[in-house]
Amino acid sequence: MICFSSIAVAQDVTAPKRLPRENLLVYRDAANQLRPVESQADWQQRRAEILAGMQSIMGKLPGDEKRCPLDVQVHEEVDCGQYVRRLISYQAEPGSRVPAYLCVPKVVLENDALPVHAALCLHGTDNVIGHGTVVGLGRPNRNYAGELAERGWVTLAPNYPLLAKYQPDLEKLGWESGTIKAVWDNMRGLDLLETLPYVKHGNYAAIGHSLGGHNSVYTAVFDPRIGAVVTSCGLDSYLDYYDGKPEVWQPGRGWTQVRYMAKLGDYQGRLAEIPFDFHEMLGAIAPRPVLVIAPLRDSNFRHESVDKVATAARQVYLLYDQPNSLQVLHPDVEHDFPPAMREAAYAFLASSLPDQPTKP
């Protein structure tokens, strides 16, 4: 049974400008009246408003007007023992090529084996080697693209815009934020995976740490081909980010950086009015499996806030009768992705991806 206890919903109640982040089971009807979500069809109306709120800040997700031939180029190939690591680039849109690492298990290349699962592996903040961190070229505890390849996955690790050697001119290309540009680059990366004959098509994993953690969430909201998500140290409520300190919402800091969403700077001092939050974004991914790893000693994101986010999002998972598909782990570590948590992430992904895609 679905409970609406957090807000009373009466007939013909005018909906507020910003629907409550803590109660996802209400929506705005065509007459701007507040209604209870009583079905999955009702939820789709609330979900559409969440996506609209995201795009009001990030900028509009483009359609076919930015699609072009991928024109994949291989720049380097390295034998990594159990798999081959290729430094490639692909054309995400006219005038913008995305550098990426593609890791392919040798057994997949050498045998006529059945297609295998693929994962989008999104890196954290690193302005020196960027996506190289997730293929073992940088700091420790980040080699999830390589480790998944050792476990038989095909992995693709695109670089995030405006980090390291990937410096697209966002304004010239027509993007309002680095966030939505990254989402588009990731979606085009999935298009690339769709062309590979040794990959199971239409149902992919997304895994990321820190920047890669929220990048995974944003991308999964917009692209139903992502069938399971692991986000490590990647989120809390915008209300709780660094305890809501005003200085972290100064233009050019934190979430308001150009490579994120500069428009969020307009909400300094009124964070509750931001038209979307992670409560709603996790709900928008439902019923697809999501594992949130939120360490107890993370200095960036507050684990208590993650629990509030998950409690709200779980309402939607309950609507789909999938309450256990949203999981939260609280390791007693700092802002890191240690071996035990990576093993838990790989096990979660292996058990989560069905043979057919699950659409929200």
Segment 236-284, tens digit of pLDDT: 999 999 998 999 999 999 999 999 999 999 999 999 999 999 999 999 9
* pLDDT above 90 coverage of the chain, percent: 92
Banded pLDDT at 342 (limits 50, 70, 90): very high
Other Cβ atoms within 10 Å of 41 Cβ, number:
8
- Contact partners, residue 83, CB within 8 Å, separation at least 6: 103, 104, 105, 106, 146, 149, 150
CA distance 77 to 33: 58
Label residues 168-178 b or e (16+ Cβ within 10 Å = b).
Answer: bebeebebbbb
309 pLDDT higher than 80 = yes
10 pLDDT higher than 90 = no
Q: Is residue 174 classed as helix, strand or coil in its secondary structure?
A: coil
Quick one: pLDDT at residue 152?
A: 95
Phi-psi region at 244: left, alpha or beta (left = phi > 0; alpha = psi -120 to 50): left
CA nearest 350: which of 217, 223, 221, 207?
Answer: 207
Phi-psi region at 218: left, alpha or beta (left = phi > 0; alpha = psi -120 to 50): alpha
CA nearest 234: which of 174, 173, 179?
Answer: 179
194 pLDDT higher than 50 = yes
User: Residue 340 is encoded by which pair of tokens?
Assistant: 């035990």
Average pLDDT over residues 153-174: 98
User: Residue 330 is encoded by which pair of tokens?
Assistant: 């609280």
Quick one: pLDDT at residue 117?
A: 97
46 pLDDT higher than 70 = yes
CA distance 301 to 234: 7
CA distance 125 to 65: 30
CA distance 149 to 220: 21
Has domain 64-352 been given CATH number 2.60.40.10? no
- Contact partners, residue 345, CB within 8 Å, separation at least 6: 144, 207, 230, 232, 291, 293
What integer best gives the mean pLDDT of the chain? Answer: 94
Full-model pTM: 0.95
Quick one: pLDDT at residue 81?
A: 97
Banded pLDDT at 11 (limits 50, 70, 90): low
